Amino acid sequence: MKTYQVAISEEARQNLKEIIGYIRRADSDAKAKYVRTEVLKLVRSLVKLPNRHPTLLVSEASGLTYRYVPNKFKVKIIYHVEEEQAQQVIVVRMYHDRQSLKELKKQLP
């Protein structure tokens, strides 16, 4: 079974930071830490079989297929897989299900 290298973009890191900050303010520090830990575990799980997750969209501009990791935390981990050169998974954004998918699509290359 192939293994992939996983990279998290600066935008995705910032997205996660904002989501965790919101959880900290709305719920608790403990809940925020728990969600952050679990989301990062899901990101690390992309080293194997990253194409197993559903397709979110295919970019008309770049031709990239964006997938997401569904989970109980309602934080979509959005990524694409680079098979040809590096066997790499690039996490490009993270967003909460309550955020606008339409706005997110505008931000993807």
- Per-residue pLDDT, averaged over 96-102, amounts to 75
Q: What's the rounded Cα separation, in Å, for the pair 67 and 44? A: 15
Q: What's the rounded Cα separation, in Å, for the pair 32 and 7? A: 22
Domains and CATH numbers, the chain: 5-107 (3.30.2310.20)
Banded model confidence at residue 86, pLDDT cuts 50, 70, 90: confident
List, for residues 8-61, the tens digit of each pLDDT value.
999 999 999 999 999 999 999 999 999 999 999 999 999 999 999 999 989 888
DSSP label at residue 92:
E
Whether 52 contacts 42, CB under 8 Å: no
Q: What's the rounded Cα separation, in Å, for the pair 91 and 10? A: 9
* pLDDT of 63: 87
